[in-house]
Structure 1
Amino acid sequence: MANTKVYLEIVKQLREMITIDGLKTGDKIPSERELSERLNFGRSSVREALRALELLGLIETRRGEGTFIRDFRGHQLVQLLSTFILQDEKAKHDVFETKNYIEMDCLRLALKKVDNRHIATLKEWVIKAENFSDDEFFHRIIEISDNHLFLRMWLILKEYYYSLNNQPVDYQRGDYLVLLEALGEKDAGKTLSAYGKLRNLSDFNDKY
């Protein structure tokens, strides 16, 4: 168990280091010795973590050159990282809760920017679209809110959400129409209440 914790901590710190250093696909990462010193872990532990990440296709070692970040867009990076980083239940709950908060904040922003044309278009799509989905609905809401940072955060959290939760949720189109009706009335209370019902947040009124 202790070895597993060490491994997870190294993976987590490597991920943070890549973000902080602004490393991208094709960039070289520090050597095993440098990582050991920087992360304050033994070289054998760092070596094992790097070996596992290479087996997963997240990095590659080139003889005589070093270790590089791979183009892993086709390797379901989010799902792979969540396997190692989001194992405890608290972390999983935080993903779900944060995703909900972003959707609610975008609804609040959309209340200020939505117009009758938006509402009519969305209602028609909800009723008639063969490819209707919860993801597409909230993608459109976030586009109306016009906050690109929220959109990027939501897209990432959405992928984490599905990597952690494989059970499909059967949402009813009528609930989205109720939400759109409240949004069209520009009533914040009704809009967030409709969202709480849609997401089946039983303690919604107490928490939000």
Structure 2
Amino acid sequence: MITADGLKSGDKIPSERELTERLNVGRSSVREALRALELLGLIETRRGEGTFIRDFKGNQLVQLLSTFVLQDDKAKRDVRETKYFLEMDCLRIILQKGANQSLGILAALADEKKVNDDEFFRNVVLLADNHLFLRIWVILKDYYNSQDFERFSAKPEEYALLVKELESGDEASVLGQYRKMRNLSVNGRQEPASF
């Protein structure tokens, strides 16, 4: 309904009575749903004015996600693994779609002295042109960055090698370079740090 009506943060949502009619549900169900949305910080009720959509940023989405999904340490560790698998799938999609013709922005990012990993892989996900993957990746990245995980940083030449492998079109070489950058074993798990 928010999308259909073109509502954005700060806009007033319909009254309980109107929502009951539009959604064809009981008023108590609407009231309960509104209460849940308010507890989640997605809407706010102003006495005498109505209910409004709140300005919720990615940071709050991360908090919402962690409240419901990431409640144990194993799930938190799985965030990194899931993010990495998603990035590998995006690399595969680029190869399958022949999007390796549009690698200029990745090459430019790889040429920088200090490559921003998040920016580089955001562009990888954008090149894959899968909006659901992009949304999931952004949430995973935000959560990953909000935790005390060790910050990942590959050498600029490793990003350049990944771009070169993408240009070659060889999936095994692309994924091999990605695993090397991320210090992953063949099964995708992170190898223990070597001393």
Please report the TM-score for the alignment, with normalisation by the length of structure 2.
0.66
Partner of 1:114: 99
> Percent identity between the aligned chains?
43
**Residues 163 and 191 of structure 1, relative CA distance in 2, 3 Å threshold:** same
Partner of 2:64: 81
Alignment partner of 1:206: what SS?
Answer: coil
Of 68, 74, 79, 1:90 maps to: 74
Residue 115 of structure 1 and its aligned partner are, at CA, apart by: 4.0
Residue 195 of structure 1 and its aligned partner are, at CA, apart by: 0.9
Native 8 Å contact 1:95 1:157 kept in 2: yes
C-alpha distance in structure 2 between counterparts of 1:81 and 1:122, whole Å: 32
C-alpha distance in structure 2 between counterparts of 1:176 and 1:151, whole Å: 20
- Structure 1 stretches of 5 or more lacking a match? 1-22, 40-46
Residue 168 of structure 1 and its aligned partner are, at CA, apart by: 2.5
Q: Which is helix-richer, 1 or 2?
A: 1
Indicate whether 1:151 and 2:127 are aligned: no
Compute the RMSD of aligned alpha carbons.
3.9
Residue 136 of structure 1 and its aligned partner are, at CA, apart by: 1.5
Partner of 2:109: 125
Residue 92 of structure 1 and its aligned partner are, at CA, apart by: 1.2
Partner of 1:15: none
Indicate whether 1:175 and 2:158 are aligned: yes
C-alpha distance in structure 2 between counterparts of 1:143 and 1:107, whole Å: 11
Match of 2:77, as an amino acid?
Answer: H
- Structure 1's consecutive aligned runs of 4 or more residues displaced over 6 angstroms after TM superposition are none
Match of 2:187, as an amino acid?
Answer: D
Q: How many residues align?
A: 173
Native 8 Å contact 1:29 1:69 kept in 2: no
Match of 1:181, as an amino acid?
Answer: K
- Residues 1-208 of structure 1: matches in 2 within 5 Å? 25=9, 26-27=12-13, 34=28, 53=39, 58-63=42-47, 68-73=52-57, 76-82=59-65, 84-85=67-68, 86-112=70-96, 113-115=98-100, 118-119=102-103, 122-127=106-111, 129=112, 132-165=115-148, 167-201=150-184, 204-207=185-188
1:159-183 Cα deviation digits (max 9, x unpaired): 1221224542232112212212221
**Residues 156 and 206 of structure 1, relative CA distance in 2, 3 Å threshold:** closer
Native 8 Å contact 1:59 1:68 kept in 2: yes
C-alpha distance in structure 2 between counterparts of 1:27 and 1:131, whole Å: 45
Native 8 Å contact 2:107 2:163 kept in 1: yes
Native 8 Å contact 2:162 2:178 kept in 1: yes
C-alpha distance in structure 1 between counterparts of 2:86 and 2:75, whole Å: 17
Alignment partner of 2:143: what SS?
Answer: helix
C-alpha distance in structure 2 between counterparts of 1:50 and 1:155, whole Å: 22
Match of 1:146, as an amino acid?
Answer: D
Alignment partner of 1:132: what SS?
Answer: coil
Match of 2:99, as an amino acid?
Answer: V
Residue 133 of structure 1 and its aligned partner are, at CA, apart by: 0.8
